[in-house]
Amino acid sequence: MEEVDHQEFVQEPQHRPSLSTIEAQGIPVIDLSPITSNNTSPSAIDALTKEIGSACKEWGFFQVTNHGVPLSLKRNLLEASKKFFSQSLEDKKKVSRDESSPSGYYESEYTKDVRDWKEVFDFFAKEPTLFPATIDEHNHRVVQWTNKYPHYPPAFRDIIQEYIEEMEKLAYKLMELIAMSLGLEAKRFERFFIRGQTSFIRLNYHLALGVGPHKDESALTILAQDEVEGLEVKRKTNQEWIRVKPKSNDYIINLGDIIQVWSNDRYESVEHRAMVNCESERFSIPYFFFPAHDTEVKPLEELINDQNPPKYRPYKSGKFLLYRMINDFKKQNKDNLQIHDYKLA
Ligand code: OGA
Ligand code: NI
């Protein structure tokens, strides 16, 4: 058969259907090969940056392919996670989270004060992770948190550490693209993470109800899910819930509250939830990319001016996260802290 040059079928960008038309059925799918393959060009990176920019603006959610993370890592971690959760409650409780660190196993989580039906295991990406000792603004004491690792399955620690390394690489790449899409220098965000990031990874085991509607308080979240669907995203244009179809080798990326503040609302953190039916259990693994605890989160200077004044007053990343962590585990009689609470009139 004659070789066909596919290049001639590729339309000029302005004649291609817009992202929203292609993805009317779901969130945008973005091919990261311009930054993960060897043969790349400035124009390919430029096109990718634009694609990221419109996905961030229109959706706040997208899937990535050709992201450079070996599929075996995700498979191994999902498998290890299944093995861990299949143990007896008694065995799982041997690595329960406690006063010494929020890393570990727990059975119930409250999202916005409603109990979710799920089991969870949290690990910090860095050991130790520095955190404020209390949520009190005037208390500057810092504590060091370390991880608990389950004994079963045996290779868990290596699997999770290898996976976290890859997530971090991907997160930095995505933050560069997002920075460029906002007209900032590529490494603009790096300084907030390079020393003392408080990122963590969560193994979710959803039994029935999954996770209630919420926005992530991270800068960015990279989600891996198994083949059982359930994730739903609230579409910004019409407020409809859109089901995200799991693709075995893709990751789902969503913007969190911190990017919303940094970008002074140019990009928004989007509401999402996980719905699970009664018959099937579901495993998912979000990696939450967080800056150092003492980062003062506020709209970036480059993105504000007289016409576009800052919409938020500064807050400390670690104090905010600690408040949410405490609140997410206990039923509180008051509303949870939201970035909205830092909004300037
Ligand atoms: C979360 C979350 C979604 C999912 O844990 O923050 O949004 O699909 N999870 O498990
Ligand atoms: Ni979430």
Query: How many Å lie between the centroid of ligand 2 and the Cα of residue 273?
Result: 7
The reported pLDDT for the residue numbered 21 is 35
Ligand 1 pocket test, candidate residues 211, 222, 324, 328, most atoms within 8 A of CB: 211
pLDDT, averaged across the chain: 88
**Residue pLDDT, tens place only, 237-296:** 889 999 998 888 999 999 999 999 999 999 999 999 998 776 778 999 999 999 999 999
Residue 207 tokens, joined: 């039994």
**Low-confidence winner among 109-113, 194-198, 324-328 (lowest mean pLDDT):** 109-113
Contact 270, 234 (CB under 8 A): yes
pLDDT at residue 218 is higher than 80: yes
Whether ligand 1 lies within 6 angstroms of the CB of 216 is answered as yes
What average pLDDT score do residues 117-134 get?
Answer: 93
pLDDT at residue 14 is higher than 50: no
Q: Say how many C-beta atoms besides its own lie within 10 A of residue 81's C-beta.
A: 24
The reported pLDDT for the residue numbered 328 is 63
Q: Which atom of ligand 1 is nearest to the CA of 252?
A: 8
Kindly indicate the confidence band of residue 6, based on its pLDDT and cuts at 50, 70 and 90: very low
Query: How many Å lie between the centroid of ligand 2 and the Cα of residue 343?
Result: 21
Contact 208, 326 (CB under 8 A): no
The reported pLDDT for the residue numbered 276 is 79
Query: How many Å lie between the centroid of ligand 1 and the Cα of residue 273?
Result: 7
Whether ligand 1 lies within 6 angstroms of the CB of 203 is answered as no
pLDDT at residue 331 is higher than 70: no
* Separation of alpha carbons 283 and 120, rounded Å: 10
**Residue pLDDT, tens place only, 154-202:** 999 999 999 999 999 999 999 999 999 999 999 999 999 999 999 999 9
Distances from the Cα of 238 to the Cαs of 58, 235, 241, 326, 337, in angstroms? Answer: 11, 6, 9, 33, 26
What average pLDDT score do residues 30-49 get?
Answer: 94
Contact 144, 103 (CB under 8 A): no
- CA-closest residue to ligand 1 atom 5: 286
Q: Which atom of ligand 1 is nearest to the CA of 210?
A: 10
Please give the residue that has the higher pLDDT: either 26 or 313.
Answer: 313
Kindly indicate the confidence band of residue 212, based on its pLDDT and cuts at 50, 70 and 90: confident
Q: What percent of the chain has pLDDT over 70?
A: 87
Dihedral of the CA atoms 197, 198, 203, 206 (nearest 10)? Answer: -130
Q: Which atom of ligand 1 is nearest to the CA of 284?
A: 10
The reported pLDDT for the residue numbered 312 is 98
Largest CA distance in the chain: 74
Nearest to 289 by CA among 126, 93, 74, 102: 126
**Residue pLDDT, tens place only, 226-237:** 888 889 999 988
- CA-closest residue to ligand 1 atom 7: 273
The reported pLDDT for the residue numbered 1 is 40
Query: How many Å lie between the centroid of ligand 1 and the Cα of residue 137?
Result: 29
Position 337, amino acid: L
Ligand nearest the Cα atom of residue 231: 1
Kindly indicate the confidence band of residue 112, based on its pLDDT and cuts at 50, 70 and 90: low
